[in-house]
Amino acid sequence: MKHEWRKKEKTVYIPKNKPKLITIPEYQFITLSGKGNPNSPFFSECIGVLYRVAYAIKMNLKTLKEAPKNYNDWTVYPLEGIWDITEKAKQNFNGQINKDELVFNLMIRQPHFVSDKYFNDMLEFTKIKSLTAF
């Protein structure tokens, strides 16, 4: 049965209007860190890279003759992000944020059965596929 986070993990991903303290277990993520304006082409490309890798992992796992232990099909998790500003921007902060000074860590959660080796294989596969697309 397909794991659908929208239905099974509402507490984590679809919060109620009233704040509530919850304990979140440790998860694994594909992450990409960078600096710059979220309206820039660079930022859009970062998001595209994350989703290409996430979908490569999902789709290729479906085609394996022998699935990983505890494999279960899943809906790709949503994009998440942590934002900050550069140290220089913090030192010179005047109440205005220059979007070019934003620092981000973007991530897409992965199921527990996705191993580091499989992730690295799919990262290489995605790089090669992206290069041959041009």
Confirm if 9 and 80 have CB atoms less than 8 A apart: no
Q: Which of 34, 38, 26, 30 is nearest to 57 (CA)?
A: 30
Q: Is residue 45 part of a domain?
A: yes
Q: Is the pLDDT reported for residue 129 higher than 80? A: no
Domain residues for the domain of 81 are 1-6+26-115
CA distance linking residue 35 with residue 52, whole number of Å: 20
What's the CATH code of the domain at 68?
A: 3.20.80.10
Local confidence band at 131 (pLDDT 50, 70, 90 cut-offs): low
- Long-range contacts of range 83-87, CB-CB < 8 Å, 24 or more positions apart? 86/35
Q: What is the pLDDT of residue 93?
A: 94
Q: Is the pLDDT reported for residue 132 higher than 90? A: no
Q: Is residue 83 part of a domain?
A: yes
> Reduced to 3 states, what is the DSSP secondary structure of residue 3?
strand
Q: Is residue 31 part of a domain?
A: yes
Q: Is the pLDDT reported for residue 14 higher than 70? A: yes
Q: Is residue 50 part of a domain?
A: yes
Overall number of domains in the chain: 1
pLDDT tens digits along 15-70: 889 998 999 999 999 999 999 999 999 999 999 999 999 999 999 988 888 888 88
The token pair that represents 130 in the structure block: 């992206």
Q: What is the pLDDT of residue 39?
A: 98
Q: Is the pLDDT reported for residue 133 higher than 70? A: no
CB atoms within 10 A of CB 11: 12
pLDDT tens digits along 75-109: 999 999 999 999 999 999 999 999 999 999 999 99
Q: Rounded to two decimals, what is the model's pTM?
A: 0.88
> Reduced to 3 states, what is the DSSP secondary structure of residue 102?
strand
> Reduced to 3 states, what is the DSSP secondary structure of residue 28?
strand
